[in-house]
Amino acid sequence: MTHDSSVDSYRLRPIGSVRSPLKRREDCPHQGYDGAPEAWIEIGPAFAAGLDGITPGCEMILLTWFHEARRDVLQVHPRGRTDNPPRGVFATRSPDRPNPIGLHRVEVLEIESPGRIRVRPLEALDGTPVIDIKSILAKSGDG
Amino acid sequence: MTHDSSVDSYRLRPIGSVRSPLKRREDCPHQGYDGAPEAWIEIGPAFAAGLDGITPGCEMILLTWFHEARRDVLQVHPRGRTDNPPRGVFATRSPDRPNPIGLHRVEVLEIESPGRIRVRPLEALDGTPVIDIKSILAKSGDG
């Protein structure tokens, strides 16, 4: 394999962080629909202009960085159950993976102030860095 | 805003790259459904074990790093049309954004060898780094 790019890594800067009642990894549901709570997303003032157009009621995709995940894991038992045969992490949604990016489809419930957004459901831990937010593409159903 | 994490940036390592007939940014459709072509995904040997469980016919989410994007842009005219009023990048799918991560829902067409996967549709440029692959969650429809 060759890379066209001359660098072999990129620097990711958090744009904000998650405020959630989920304080420990073992408290987190596996997915948002597994009973995850509401959470607040706090976006840094330097990035608030990028939120223009996000309104209560809309759905969006939140990308987070699972800062407590293991990056050296390539195979897991799906949903952490050892009776499930091991699978490649890229065929799962395990937080443990080489670049531990979390992908969450959430509904916007409230915008309290520029940069403070209440969403649900969110299975990410309190303090999890937020790295990107995207609109939903209705046409592709990509959520 | 406070961050719980003690670092203010993270290091992202590409796991592979895109091989595509799209060679210039101006040739790329805005979205996969805008007539994007098939492409090959080449995953590095060090990460191939993570692909176990991915088979032809399945759909998956590909995350890429738009290495040619601008990271200092917070507002854009959606779909590059200046008659569309400017919007925050986080309410769009613009590649220009603080952390230029691409999110693509693709179908797996063929697995040629461990680490070489043909997919469609993919609107990313030839040489675009691949940073993660995830399964689709049927239940949440998050694509």
Of the pLDDT bands very low, low, confident and very high (cuts 50, 70, 90), residue B137 is confident
How far is B109 from chain A, CA to nearest CA, in Å? 15
In this complex, is the C-beta atom of B87 within 8 Å of any C-beta atom belonging to chain A?
yes
Q: What is the token pair recorded at A120?
A: 């649900």
Residues A30, A88: Cα–Cα separation, whole Å: 17
Nearest-CB residue to A98 (from B4, B47, B75): B47
Nearest-CB residue to B98 (from A13, A87, A101): A13
pLDDT higher at B78 or B138? B78
Q: What is the token pair recorded at A10?
A: 């990129």
The letter for the amino acid at A125 is L
Residue A62 reports pLDDT greater than 60: yes
Instruction: Report pTM.
Output: 0.90
Any idea which residue has 């949604």 for tokens?
A93
Which pLDDT belongs to residue A33? 76
Bridge partners, residue A11, by sequence: B11
Which pLDDT belongs to residue B139? 59
On the CB side of A6, CA atoms within 13 Å amount to 1
Residue B5 reports pLDDT greater than 50: no
What interface predicted TM-score (ipTM) does this complex get? 0.89
Q: Which chain A residues have a beta carbon less than 8 Å from that of B61? A: 103, 142
